[in-house]
Amino acid sequence: MSNIEPVSSPFHYTRGNVEPILHEIVHALDRLLEDDEPTVIDLASLPFGPGELDQLEERLGVGELTAELNALGRSIIRETVYPGVWWLEHRNTECDIVGRYIEITRAPEILMSQDADIGAGRAQLGDSLERPAPGDNNGADNEPRPN
């Protein structure tokens, strides 16, 4: 068993899904520029061979903007080196991946503050203004708190 050697990724034999997805992204960028139409590619719906997803991620690279979302687990929303092409990775509270997407859009919807949250936040901020001045309570109460 000692002479088992690691084998380099065999997938240079097949192009797999990396190239087709990159082509798809180019077309999606065209649609975004011409018709203002965003595209979402759900990577879970595509069959990937070992290492292919990493290859894809590597090819797209890391761009100017990376955002981290903390809601029901951590999420990464990252613009790739190609502006308008976003890499989204959602994890659950156990840190398991629950979804991977490539979004071709000016800004992913999930980055936008949602009306419901804005309303709730506004109400909270309003509440806090109606309350006695700070200093009467301990600092923890001053933190914005979701209802």
Partner 1 sequence: MKDIPTLGDILQARGVSRRGFLKYCSATASLLALPPAMVPQIANALEQARRPSVIWLSFQECTGCTESLTRSSSPTLEGLIFDTISLDYHHTLQAAAGEAAEAARHAAMEENNGNYLVLVDGSIPLGNPGFSTIAGMSNYDMLMETVEGAAAVVAIGSCAAFGGIPGANPNPTGAVSVRDLVKDKPVINVPGCPPIPMVITGVLAQYLTFGQLPELDRHGRPMAFFGQTIHDRCYRRPFYEQGKFAETFDDEGARLGWCLFKLGCKGPITYNACATMKWNSGTSFPIEAGHPCLGCSEPGFWDKGGFYNAVSTGEIGSGTALAGAAAAGVAIGAAAAAMSRARQKKTIKEG
Q: Which residues bind partner 1 (CB under 8 A)?
A: 7, 10-11, 13-14, 16-17, 40, 42, 44-50, 52, 69, 71-73, 75, 90, 92-94, 96-99, 101, 109-110, 114-117, 146-147
Write down the H helix ranges in 1-134.
18-35, 52-60, 115-130
Given the DSSP bridges, would you call strands 85-91 and 97-104 parallel, antiparallel or unpaired?
antiparallel
Minimal distance in Å, beta carbon 61 to partner 1? 22
Tokens of 56: 């894809």
Minimal distance in Å, beta carbon 136 to partner 1? 25
* Smaller CB separation from partner 1, 30 or 109: 109
* Smaller CB separation from partner 1, 92 or 136: 92
* Smaller CB separation from partner 1, 139 or 146: 146
* Smaller CB separation from partner 1, 47 or 135: 47
Radius of gyration of the chain (CA): 21
Burial of 87 (0-12, 13-18, 19+ CB in 10 A): buried
Instruction: Count other C-beta atoms under 10 Å from residue 56's C-beta.
Output: 22
